[in-house]
């Protein structure tokens, strides 16, 4: 049975923890709003890009002269998994769910006899993958110093991916990130970047003139599209991370509250028991006289 | 006065400009071209350069754009640029640094193809510097 002093200390410590989790929740809420705005602001560009590329790409379907970024290398032996996670923990299952999806994919690819290479974006993904997938990790990119994800950050990663592809280091590239659905729901998603996959081409409302020709435009835009997709993934990830942290911290605050209630009840019970005991001692002492 | 059309300038980070314009001069990969209302649908990639917008309200704006494409359709003109900064905000020192880097690229190039590419890039940057100086 803990003494009264012990209980007092526990209550004080849980209260301090509750204050921290509460503050973290509020910070995450503020950051979430900003991250969501950023993700929304980036949407028009990515959507336009995709619509235009889908149109251009559909013209190249089944042709031999399609660019490699679209058609692939013709093999699918080496897979590059680009795993984007957060730099910080304390955000519920956010990091582990992305890492889990990537790990499952990596395992099934290895079982099929493919070679797997992993590039981690974010420290947490690296931390959780290095134990069993350490041998496959070729590079880790940390964005710790980055407060707000800018397009340049995504472009750097894109450069790396493009360079590796040109040097023939992989055939298929997949990006892993968490799509932001709502504060309580973030969906780990795998998106194939190379060879590029586009949705159905929308019917063009006019006949376009291309300058330079279609092939050259496609060749110019496909590499850019990789950066754009990575950028979109990073922004979604940033919003998801804050959403996950917000709900995790909300839970933690509530748990701390429950714990304080229980401890206080216990504390009061013991305090009263002690008072009663003292009273009995005094009374029985007086009676003995 | 020619009619106005909808013009949008979009960067990956946000929608920079969305307004009615009477004419937009776009630095296309194969040369600058002007777009006015009712232009035939066309699509072109961009080279680094200055994009000039003549607004329907009579206000003129200039942006430095790099990387991306322009799409003129029946609905208007959309320019998707990887980098787009208002010319007024463009830092001359920053540009000078980029030019210096490009110069190094030209001297460091291993083969003719890379050198040519770097030289084109350098020439484009010089154009922008000239435009900035003139502004």
User: In this predicted model, what pLDDT tens digit does every residue of A114-129 receive, in sequence order?
Assistant: 999 999 998 998 999 9
| Active-site residue flag, A91 | yes
**Mean pLDDT, all residues of chain B:** 83
Give the pLDDT of residue B135: 61
pLDDT band at B43 (very low <50, low <70, confident <90, very high): confident
Compute the average pLDDT of residues B1-15. 83
Nearest alpha carbon to residue A101 among A200, A187, A214, A230: A187
Q: From start to end of A156-288, where are the E strands?
A: 172-182, 185-194, 209-211
Give the pLDDT of residue B110: 78
Give the pLDDT of residue A57: 80
Gap between the Cα atoms of A193 and A221, Å rounded: 13
Nearest CA in chain B to A213: B44
The pair of structure tokens assigned to B133 is 């100086």
**Mean pLDDT, all residues of chain A:** 89
Q: Measured between beta carbons, which residues in chain B are less than 8 angstroms from residue A154? A: 12
Give the pLDDT of residue B25: 92
Q: Please indicate if any CB of chain B lies within 8 Å of the CB of A231.
A: yes
Query: Which residues of chain A carry a pLDDT beneath 70?
Result: 62, 200-206
Query: Quick check: A208 and B41 CB within 8 A?
Result: yes
Give the pLDDT of residue A204: 61
Partner A, chain B 75-104, Cβ-Cβ below 8 Å? 75, 78, 80, 82-83
Gap between the Cα atoms of A56 and A137, Å rounded: 34
Who's near A225: CB < 8 A, 6+ residues apart? A49, A50, A53, A196
Query: Quick check: B80 and A49 CB within 8 A?
Result: yes
Give the pLDDT of residue B66: 84
Give the pLDDT of residue A220: 84
Give the pLDDT of residue B103: 83
Query: Quick check: A212 and B30 CB within 8 A?
Result: yes
pTM of the complete model: 0.85
């Amino acid at each position: 049975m803990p003494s009264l002093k012990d209980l007092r200390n526990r209550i004080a410590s849980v209260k301090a923890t509750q204050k921290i989790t509460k503050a973290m929740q509020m910070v995450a809420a503020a950051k979430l709003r900003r991250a969501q705005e950023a993700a929304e602001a980036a949407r028009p560009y990515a959507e336009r890009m995709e619509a235009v590329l889908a149109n251009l790409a559909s013209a190249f379907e089944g042709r031999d002269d399609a660019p490699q970024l679209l058609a692939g290398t013709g093999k699918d032996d080496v897979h590059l998994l680009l795993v984007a996670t957060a730099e910080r923990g304390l955000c519920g299952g956010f990091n582990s769910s992305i890492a889990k999806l990537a790990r499952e994919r990596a395992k099934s690819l290895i079982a099929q006899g493919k070679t797997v290479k992993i590039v981690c974006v974010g420290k947490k993904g690296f931390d959780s993958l290095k134990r069993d997938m350490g041998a496959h990790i070729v590079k880790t990119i940390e964005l710790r110093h980055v407060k707000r994800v800018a397009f340049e950050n995504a472009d750097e990663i894109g450069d790396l991916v493009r360079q590796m592809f040109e040097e023939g280091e992989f055939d298929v590239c997949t990006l892993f990130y968490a799509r932001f659905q709502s504060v309580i729901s973030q969906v780990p998603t795998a998106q194939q970047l190379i060879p590029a996959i586009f949705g159905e081409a929308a019917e063009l409302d006019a006949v376009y003139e291309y300058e330079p020709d279609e092939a050259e435009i496609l060749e110019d835009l496909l590499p850019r599209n990789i950066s754009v997709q990575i950028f979109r993934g990073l922004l979604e990830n940033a919003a998801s991370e804050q959403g996950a942290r917000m709900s995790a911290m909300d839970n933690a605050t509530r748990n701390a509250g429950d714990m304080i209630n229980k401890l206080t009840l216990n504390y009061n019970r013991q305090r009263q028991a002690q008072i009663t005991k003292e009273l009995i001692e005094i009374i029985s002492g007086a009676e003995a006289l | 006065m020619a009619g106005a059309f909808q013009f949008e300038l979009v960067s990956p980070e946000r929608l920079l400009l969305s307004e009615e314009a009477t004419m937009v001069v776009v630095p296309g990969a194969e040369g600058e071209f002007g777009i006015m209302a009712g232009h035939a649908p066309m699509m072109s990639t961009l080279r680094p350069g200055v994009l000039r917008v003549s607004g329907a309200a009579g206000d003129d704006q200039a942006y430095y754009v790099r990387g991306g494409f322009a799409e003129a359709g029946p609905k208007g003109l959309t320019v998707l640029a990887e980098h787009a900064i208002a010319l007024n905000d463009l830092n001359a020192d920053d540009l000078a640094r980029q030019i210096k880097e490009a110069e190094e690229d030209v001297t460091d190039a291993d083969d003719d193809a890379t050198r040519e590419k770097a030289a084109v890039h350098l020439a484009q940057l010089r154009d922008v510097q000239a435009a900035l100086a003139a502004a």
